[in-house]
Amino acid sequence: MHDLQSFLVQYMSDYPEDVVRVTEALPRDYQVTALAMATEQMAEPPVIVCDAVEAAGMPVVTNLFASRVRIARILGTTVEALHDHWAARSKHLIPPVEVSEGVCQEVCRLGDDADATQLPFMVHFEQDAGRYLTSGVVAARDPDTGAVNLSFARMQLKGPRRFGISVHSRGHLWDYQRRAEARGRPLDVAVVVGMHPIYMIAAASRMPMGVDEQEVAGALLGHPLEVVRGVTVDVPVPAAAEIVLEGRIEPNVREPEGPFGEYTGYATARSTNNVFTLTAITHRRQPWFLDVCPGHSRDHLLLGRIHKEAEVLRKLREVLPNVKAIHYPVSGTHYHCYISIAKQRPGDARHCALLALGLDAYIKLVVVVDDDVDVHNEAEVMWALATRVQPAEDVFIVHGVTCNVLDPSSYDGVSSKMGIDATRPAGWDAQRTSLPREVVLRAHDLLRSHRNRLQ
> Side by side, which strands form the sheet with 414-421?
323-327, 336-341, 365-370, 414-421, 395-402
Cα gap 169→177, rounded to integer Å: 13
- Whichever of 210 and 321 has its CB closer to Mn ion, that residue is 210
- Whichever of 173 and 301 has its CB closer to Mn ion, that residue is 173
Cα gap 307→95, rounded to integer Å: 19
CB 311 to Mn ion: min, Å: 12
- Whichever of 151 and 415 has its CB closer to Mn ion, that residue is 151
3-state secondary structure of 332: helix
Q: Strand 47-53 to strand 19-26: parallel, antiparallel, or no bridges (unpaired)?
A: parallel
Cα gap 338→374, rounded to integer Å: 9
CB 206 to Mn ion: min, Å: 6
> Virtual CA dihedral for 420, 424, 425, 431, nearest 10 degrees?
150
CB 148 to Mn ion: min, Å: 9
Q: Which residues pair with 166 in a beta bridge?
A: 154
Cα gap 87→82, rounded to integer Å: 9
CB 171 to Mn ion: min, Å: 6
- Whichever of 119 and 216 has its CB closer to Mn ion, that residue is 216
Chain residues binding Mn ion by CB under 5 A are 149, 172, 207
End-to-end CA distance of the chain: 44
Cα gap 249→162, rounded to integer Å: 10
CB 220 to Mn ion: min, Å: 15
- Whichever of 149 and 404 has its CB closer to Mn ion, that residue is 149
Question: Any idea what DSSP says for residue 450?
Answer: H
CB 205 to Mn ion: min, Å: 8
**In sequence order, what DSSP letters do the residues of 359-427 get, joined into one string?**
H-TT--EEEEEETTS-TT-HHHHHHHHHHH--HHHHEEEEEEEE--TT-TT-BTTEEEEEEEE-SPPTT
Contact 166, 185 (CB under 8 A): no
CB 175 to Mn ion: min, Å: 9
Contact 139, 190 (CB under 8 A): yes
CB 94 to Mn ion: min, Å: 16
Cα gap 109→9, rounded to integer Å: 27
- Whichever of 203 and 241 has its CB closer to Mn ion, that residue is 203
CB 307 to Mn ion: min, Å: 11
Q: Which residue is nearest to Mn ion (CB)?
A: 172
- Whichever of 158 and 172 has its CB closer to Mn ion, that residue is 172
- Whichever of 315 and 351 has its CB closer to Mn ion, that residue is 315
